[in-house]
Structure 1
Amino acid sequence: MVTSSLSGSSFSPEPSLSSQIEHARRAALLVRATDLAVIVVTGGDRISWLNGLVTCNLANVTPGHAVYGLAVQLKGRIVCDVTVLVAEDRALVVVPASAREELTQAFDHYLVMEDVELAHLPFAIWQAHGPRARDLVAPARAASPAIAAAEIDFTGLGGAIVLAPESEEAAAWHALEPTLKSAGGLVGDDAGWEALRLEHAVPRFGKDFDATTYPQEATLERRAVSFDKGCYLGQEVVCMLEMRGRVKRKLAPLVLANHDPGDPPAKGTAVFDTTGKQVGEVTSSAPSPTLQTHIAFAMLKAASAAADTLVKVGSRDARVVDKPARAG
């Protein structure tokens, strides 16, 4: 559960899902990302070296900006997703905490003669979503030179990320809280982020995709892959899949019929086509305040992943959509 501050706050620590979604649409929703961790990359070659290991293009990213991408294996499968925040003297690579050790080892394997050092340091990480999320960047930076913040849009609504070393967590929060309040924003929790990301078709590493998944299977090729940059690890396979234009399976958002009662479908629930043949399974799900029904991600056979395809999730009617938030 995300708490609203270090020592109490005027914000409700348990806002409703509908309130969180509404604030993300109209102002800002701030969520403490306890499932993320940071790899600090320093040294004179840090950007050129790192650019050869991720799918996003870092070549023209100036300090104070952030980009989203993937780290992939030589054979093209995803190691994990990454958000790279470029600072004046370092690059901060934000990764799922569960994947940090594996990714650090993978990075270290490709560190030969470059002037690069890798370190693990504890950070407090906040993600903000919504059109006023950008308002949080400048106050967070002003609170301490050690705090990094940048605009980055995860949902299409606008967004930002704030990284504070453990020693500066209180300073960061004391800057974020009044700014969020003046922007009409709200502190959210993981349930709110789960509903928001599913409404906006944002897949989550470890839930919707993992190290067995190619970028195109996770439908991340447009969001996380640059097809214009120079060489990077795994590029040949990723580009080959793109040129072929097809994969055998794809992650797809589903909207369940609103007349179906019960809880959101559990991870692993079978998905069937209209003939009763199993075509995939649910990877994650949540209630949708916007649609007043349940929504989900499912990994489906590619032929069943096109928008408007009718399926059954267990025994419940559902429809494949491009983005649930646009399906109402």
Structure 2
Amino acid sequence: MTINSKASSQVNTRSQNLAQETSVAHKGNALSLPFMVNSTVSVDRCADATGFRTPSLRHRSLSVSHDQRVAETFLLNTRLCRHDYESEAGVQLYYTDTVTYMLANNGIETFDTTITVPLPSPARLRLSLGDCLLRRRSKRLFTGDPVRLEGLSSLLFAAAGITGIGKAPVEHGEHMVDLFFRTTPSPGGLYGVDLYVVALNISGLERGIYGYDPLRSRLSLLQGPDSVQAVLNTFAYPEEVISLSRACALLIAIGRPWKVMRKYGSRGLRYLFIEVGQLAENVHLACTALGYGDVDIAGFYDDDLNEALGLDGLANTVLHTIAVGIPAE
């Protein structure tokens, strides 16, 4: 919204009176000095002079503030435009034999550890999809009771498990390579999201931080039990809001943006966020079917959590977390 002489002339008498009354009532208070337009939108002209600016204040000052609008800049810079031949060429590159071979090897990399834990076969989810959708709820309080390793395996499979193998031709159809399908869709089948597990109270699994290997259906130990508390300390919520210490596990989605942006450019970051959302919903529905409770947690301190996990926060960075446990409600 832009305030100009034409817009100002449209301010009705009631709005002018209200603005005058508010100015008198809050004289000298830069946080509460609005200019009323059309009786519905308040504009705070003093935002740039205010040191403590809440998101609400930034919203009220959009039309008059010189503050950087980072989120909106992201939307503008990741739009798909017609005649963007550079982006088209980047996508076409992924239809060559070289890239097909690369996709066939997607996920074969291993974690830097020698300690692995094979996962049991995931339990079959008996609850119908319709019932899961109706019953799904966010559960923030947990009992502290353990979850079996089979249950964790079921959640990880729902999030990123291998569901099938497709064949792709290379060398003009003379050879075929295997491409692996997963439970969660991914842009271009690139799978730019890895899954970490912070095991808190899982029967048959030592407390620690693990990486999920869907191709081999196993967990790789990344850090031992002494590192767990450092991860828990990076969350902003108190125990009475989300009883994280009584959860069974914390699932952490790790993004590798350039794995997707190499093909789709900056817009690929949008696709990566979509993939994380789809992965999270699979976890929610599986938790519902298994009788577990879970909740999305976006309230973590990014730099602290990345450091606790040994990530650089850019090429590899935390995107999302989900707490899982036995619900207390």
Common fold: TM-score over 0.5: no
Larger radius of gyration: 2
TM-score (norm 1): 0.25
Q: Select the structure that is richer in strand.
A: 1
**Structure with the higher fraction of residues in helix conformation:** 2
